[in-house]
Homo-oligomer: A and B are copies of this chain.
Amino acid sequence: MITLAEENYLKAILSISLNSDGKVSTNAIAGEIGTSAASVSDMLKKLQDKKLVKYKKYKGVSLTKKGNSFATSVIRKHRLWETFLVNNLNFDWGEVHDVAEQLEHIKSEELVDRLDAFLDYPKFDPHGEPIPTKDGEISTTNTIPLNKLSEGTNGKVMGVTLDEKPFLDYLTKLNISIGTEIKLLEKISFDQSISIKTGNTKQHISNDVAKHLLIKTN
């Protein structure tokens, strides 16, 4: 049996390796989970014993096929639950992440399958993040983070890569949500902050915000 803590470590390792390449470091995992590097070291040994990761001391870690499959399944459950919460229980997109962190650990294949069917096999969650299929496929989209676009480019917000409430509340305040058309007006080289136009209003946002907005250019 795989425990809740183990699931969270596997998910963290997958998340990190999707946004970087090569082996995942102990410190990166500690940062992602909000725990000490010592705890991570301990856990990596256990995951190694269970053949869920490939781990060489001091050399970082990567998921085995089995580990990747578990991690993907947890992300699938997380995103399906988020979709349910927003679509059916009328939660706001900023309110669902914490509850989904709990629901993702409910163990029942049948439940996930039926929830998926009930939701009519959604491809993306309320944050525009792709929902892995039952057999572990994660669809990739040809989107670019807003901060990587060049000045003058037009595009549409397809998703966000952070689903914490303060961030999403700020986006709501900026009148930005999935589907919003955005034009990148100007990039300030001093701090990489960005001027954008949405509808008829100009706004200015930090690089930290821009990098979490996935844009599909027109």
Contact = CB atoms under 8 A, between A and B. Distances in A.
Interface string A81-117: 0000100111100010011001100111011001100
A58 interface: no
Contact of A106 (B90, B103, B110, B115): B103
Interface string A31-69: 000000000000000000000000000000000000000
A115 to B, nearest CB: 7
B102 A106 contact: yes
Contacts of A114: 89-91
A18 B111 CA distance: 30
A106 B107 CA distance: 13
A106 to B, nearest CB: 5
A108 to B, nearest CB: 5
Contacts of A102: 106-108
A89 B110 CA distance: 10
A118 interface: yes
Contact of A89 (B85, B90, B118): B118
A144 B108 CA distance: 35
B99 A108 contact: yes
Nearest to A106: B102
A102 B102 CA distance: 10
Contacts of A88: 118
A114 B99 CA distance: 13
Interface of A: 85, 88-91, 95, 98-99, 102-103, 106-108, 110-111, 114-115, 118
Given A89-B114, A90-B114, A99-B108, 16 more contacts: A85-B111, A88-B118, A89-B111, A89-B115, A89-B118, A91-B110, A91-B114, A99-B106, A99-B110, A99-B111, A102-B106, A102-B107, A102-B108, A103-B103, A103-B106, A106-B106
21 contacts: A85-B111, A88-B118, A89-B111, A89-B114, A89-B115, A89-B118, A90-B114, A91-B110, A91-B114, A95-B110, A98-B108, A99-B106, A99-B108, A99-B110, A99-B111, A102-B106, A102-B107, A102-B108, A103-B103, A103-B106, A106-B106
